[in-house]
Structure 1
Amino acid sequence: MHIAWIGKKSPFCGNVTYGREVTNALLDRGYEVSFLHFTQAEDEEHTWSGYKEVSLPCLYKSQVYTIPSLKASKVLTRSLKQLQPDLVHASLTLSPLDFLLPEICQELNLPLVATFHPPFDGKRRNLKSGTQLFTYQLYAPFLAHYDQVIVFSQLQRNFLVRLGVPPHKLAVIPNGVDVIKYSPGYSDFKSKLDAKRLFIYLGRIATEKNIEALLRAWKQSNLGEESKLVIVGNGPLLSSLMPFYGEEYGIIWWGFEADEQRRIELLRAADVFILPSLLEGLSLSLLEAMACGVACVATDAGADGEVLEDGAGVILNTHRVSSQLHTLLPVFRDHLEWTTLLGQKARQRVLERYTLSGNISRLEKLYAEVLNAGRVHVSGAPLH
């Protein structure tokens, strides 16, 4: 089967990781994959082997959104005509072309599947969750015209159903992790960082990730010289936070780590992984930490609370994150047995529910169902 994958290669984000991991797994299972992605003239080359690649022209792109050039739609349509894939899979959100894809694929008689990534908090507890709700409201009428839309949790599915997406168009296939690559193992990073207890955050340094709540709690907890907090990632808040939370508090600003093996070694060295987000979809970083056997703490934003439920980790409410962490951090420092047990439970949860191989098998089944069903629109009318 030939899959035309429309996704991202840069800048680095969860959508990029998702596209790389899933398409590599599809290639390993014998699929032909063509990768269509937005590029600018000044972009560095991001080469992933095994693909036919198509560059879609754009004026601007960021971790959040892309502005395509005026001719991007024509390039996309022409490329799909030439490639003649069996199925198109778009990893959203990408650009305003997301809204045109159903019409383009209908004209070409191509089945269309989407994976819908935007983070959310279905409980609408903060300003950011209200802003993200607008994204869901904006996309819902267009998602209804895709043949199938993949979401990461039942909570996310119910959210979109309430916004009018037909239930039969929504498939729950959680993110998955390569549990052989991401696994417990030896790492010397703790000794290199001169830490007896090592805590880690891995992700964007952005408002919705609520990093400042973690930093305030860490600073107030005064855990001592032998405890270190490593912040791995970059983002718009980096320069404003670093001056106030430095090495004098045991905080190490690692920056963005492009090397996957080094990220794995950092996770293997950690005692505790912390994700204080106000908004999430289903965090791949959380699943990767769990797969490495790290005790995990995360808010119940998005599907992360669902991942950690029933004892697989510690779940925080998105309200008063600092005060909750202020209470928990000394407990994690002082109780090695508890963190070890939580790490074991986290690894077991991933093995049960969130393996990449299981994810791909469910995706293969979905592809087969979409192809067998043919192009049927709920309305029975052509798109306009």
Structure 2
Amino acid sequence: MSESRPLILHVIHHLVTGGMENGLVNLINHLPENRFRHAVACVEDFSDFRFRLTRSDAPVIALHRSRVGVWRLRRDLFHLCRRLQPTVVHSRNQSGLDALLPARLAGVPYCIHGEHGWDVDDLAGRRLKPALLRRLHAPLVDRYITVSAELRNYLVERVGISARRVTQIINGVDTQRYAPTTHADRWRSLPEGFAVPGSVVIGTVGRLQAVKDQATLLRAFARVATDGDVAASRARLVVVGDGPLRESLRGLAAELGISSLTWFPGAVGNVCELLQAFDLFVLPSLAEGISNTLLEAMATGLPLLATATGGNIELVADEVSGRLFQPRDVAGLGDLLRRYLADSSLRQRHGSAAREVAVARFSLATMLANYQSVYEEFCDRSGQACTPLASRRSDCAAGRAEGG
């Protein structure tokens, strides 16, 4: 295949299990191969998660900033850009800002910067230093992409970026892979004997770290499952994911007396099957951009309980597809769990509504088309052949720059 295809160099902190990383993998795997090449530069490192990339022409490079220092990182990024000669560098989140100046000095024509969520030490985007860093790097950025309206407003109102330079692209979900099951044995992915007839399986999926706050879910579940109510006594909890808090969360479950009712499977490769085993999905995060796992739960047809923060507000229609609750509100979440445990028709109605919204508004195809449109806009400007959409094929082939 001709190497005249433009190269998109994606710069992220690390390529490990996570929502942003999963979105990047979906993007690379599904954008048309005849239009773009891709490479991934990790500011730190990557894990086996990289093998989810199915394209053989998408190298992943680890730069190990914590080991080599920020100045060596910038030098290595400069040389990487000189060697690969990308048409677009697409950096993400704060650590990706370090790629922008090296890319410009290396002659990269265009830089796109994405904002995907908040750090645990800046949950509301109020800290001055992160906003100042973004403002200082703004002259190097041709386009910003945010996954949520909250992040878009942060860039415009807090950082001072012109609204014309910001595009919101909500994450997409594969609504064919993530779908309600008709399999009679939907609990086949759970440990034998964990769920019994009449059980209601509550689940969450996410990296086990402070910002995801699975501890609040454990505490709320314990309040409900141990209060003597017959319906609640059949509840089971599944906490999917791995991370630095795994052992402390397991210890908390033991302390709360719910170890026998709770399963921690770790990081898994069959998330879609586990979601099909759930009856209710809970996302207790302190902050979110647009949660991929929430989208996957929606597509699976699960009713949703999620914190009223970030992009969750854009995804969950309160009292239609689920309920929103305040971060760290153990009592409030406990009350919601009781309500859904006791009412199977409510779970069915809200789950069906969540599925309908996922299919109508948050499909993977919609996300891919939006990113492709942005990439092709800049490839057209550069005059590189990118085999664009039919409406602009002649312009790209002739190497004419598109206005705007």
Using structure 2 for the length normalisation, give the TM-score.
Answer: 0.79
C-alpha separation between the residues in 2 aligned to 1:296 and 1:133? 34
Q: How far is the alpha carbon of 1:268 from its aligned partner? A: 0.7
Indicate how the Cα distance of structure 1 residues 20 and 169 shifts in structure 2: closer, same or farther if over 3 A, else same.
same
CA contact (8 A) 1:39 1:55 kept: no
Find the counterpart in structure 2 of residue 365 from structure 1.
Answer: 373
Find the counterpart in structure 2 of residue 181 from structure 1.
Answer: 177
C-alpha separation between the residues in 2 aligned to 1:179 and 1:314? 22
Indicate how the Cα distance of structure 1 residues 337 and 54 shifts in structure 2: closer, same or farther if over 3 A, else same.
closer
Indicate how the Cα distance of structure 1 residues 8 and 334 shifts in structure 2: closer, same or farther if over 3 A, else same.
same
Find the counterpart in structure 1 of residue 37 from structure 2.
Answer: 32
Find the counterpart in structure 1 of residue 399 from structure 2.
Answer: none
CA contact (8 A) 2:203 2:240 kept: yes
Aligned counterparts, 1:19-58, within 5 A: 19-27=24-32, 30-38=35-43, 46-47=50-51, 48=53, 49-58=55-64
Find the counterpart in structure 1 of residue 268 from structure 2.
Answer: 258
Find the counterpart in structure 2 of residue 81 from structure 1.
Answer: 82
Q: How far is the alpha carbon of 1:361 from its aligned partner? A: 0.4
C-alpha separation between the residues in 1 aligned to 2:357 and 2:33? 25
Find the counterpart in structure 2 of residue 64 from structure 1.
Answer: none
* Residue-by-residue CA offset, 1:234-293 (whole Å, 9 max, x unaligned): 23333223223139525424242231xx21111011010101111111111111111111
Indicate how the Cα distance of structure 1 residues 317 and 368 shifts in structure 2: closer, same or farther if over 3 A, else same.
same
1:142 alignment partner, one of 137, 141, 153? 137
Q: How far is the alpha carbon of 1:43 from its aligned partner? A: 6.5
Indicate how the Cα distance of structure 1 residues 203 and 162 shifts in structure 2: closer, same or farther if over 3 A, else same.
same
Find the counterpart in structure 1 of residue 207 from structure 2.
Answer: 204
Asked if 1:217 corresponds to 2:220, the answer is yes
Indicate how the Cα distance of structure 1 residues 27 and 371 shifts in structure 2: closer, same or farther if over 3 A, else same.
closer
Computing the radius of gyration from Cα coordinates, the structure with the larger value is 2
SS in 2 for 1:314: strand
Q: How far is the alpha carbon of 1:128 from its aligned partner? A: 4.3
Give the stretch that moved more between structures: 242-251 or 225-234.
Answer: 242-251
SS in 2 for 1:108: coil
SS in 2 for 1:112: strand
Indicate how the Cα distance of structure 1 residues 282 and 372 shifts in structure 2: closer, same or farther if over 3 A, else same.
same
Find the counterpart in structure 2 of residue 296 from structure 1.
Answer: 304
CA contact (8 A) 1:8 1:15 kept: no
CA contact (8 A) 2:118 2:125 kept: no
2:15 alignment partner, one of 10, 22, 26? 10
SS in 1 for 2:124: helix
Q: How far is the alpha carbon of 1:4 from its aligned partner? A: 2.1
Aligned counterparts, 1:1-384, within 5 A: 1-2=5-6, 3-7=8-12, 10-27=15-32, 30-38=35-43, 46-47=50-51, 48=53, 49-60=55-66, 68=69, 70-94=71-95, 98-102=97-101, 104-105=103-104, 107-119=106-118, 128-129=123-124, 135-143=130-138, 145-163=140-158, 164-185=160-181, 186=183, 187=186, 188-189=188-189, 192=192, 193-195=194-196, 196-222=199-225, 224-246=232-254, 248-249=257-258, 250-259=260-269, 262-309=270-317, 311-318=320-327, 321-372=329-380
Indicate how the Cα distance of structure 1 residues 110 and 256 shifts in structure 2: closer, same or farther if over 3 A, else same.
farther
C-alpha separation between the residues in 2 aligned to 1:146 and 1:168? 13
- One-letter amino acid matched to 2:171: N
Q: How far is the alpha carbon of 1:115 from its aligned partner? A: 1.7
Q: How far is the alpha carbon of 1:76 from its aligned partner? A: 2.1
C-alpha separation between the residues in 1 aligned to 2:66 and 2:317? 39
C-alpha separation between the residues in 2 aligned to 1:374 and 1:206? 41
- One-letter amino acid matched to 1:92: N
Give the paired residue count: 360
* Residue-by-residue CA offset, 1:58-82 (whole Å, 9 max, x unaligned): 1538xxxxx7564332332222223
Q: Percent identity?
A: 24
- One-letter amino acid matched to 1:11: V
CA contact (8 A) 2:172 2:367 kept: yes
Give the stretch that moved more between structures: 333-342 or 24-33.
Answer: 24-33
C-alpha separation between the residues in 2 aligned to 1:44 and 1:273? 27
C-alpha separation between the residues in 2 aligned to 1:17 and 1:45? 9
Q: How far is the alpha carbon of 1:338 from its aligned partner? A: 0.8
CA contact (8 A) 1:59 1:68 kept: yes
Unaligned runs of 5+ in 2: 226-230, 384-404
Indicate how the Cα distance of structure 1 residues 348 and 35 shifts in structure 2: closer, same or farther if over 3 A, else same.
same
SS in 2 for 1:50: coil
Indicate how the Cα distance of structure 1 residues 304 and 137 shifts in structure 2: closer, same or farther if over 3 A, else same.
farther
CA contact (8 A) 2:10 2:39 kept: yes
CA contact (8 A) 2:235 2:261 kept: no
C-alpha separation between the residues in 2 aligned to 1:158 and 1:128? 15
- One-letter amino acid matched to 2:242: N
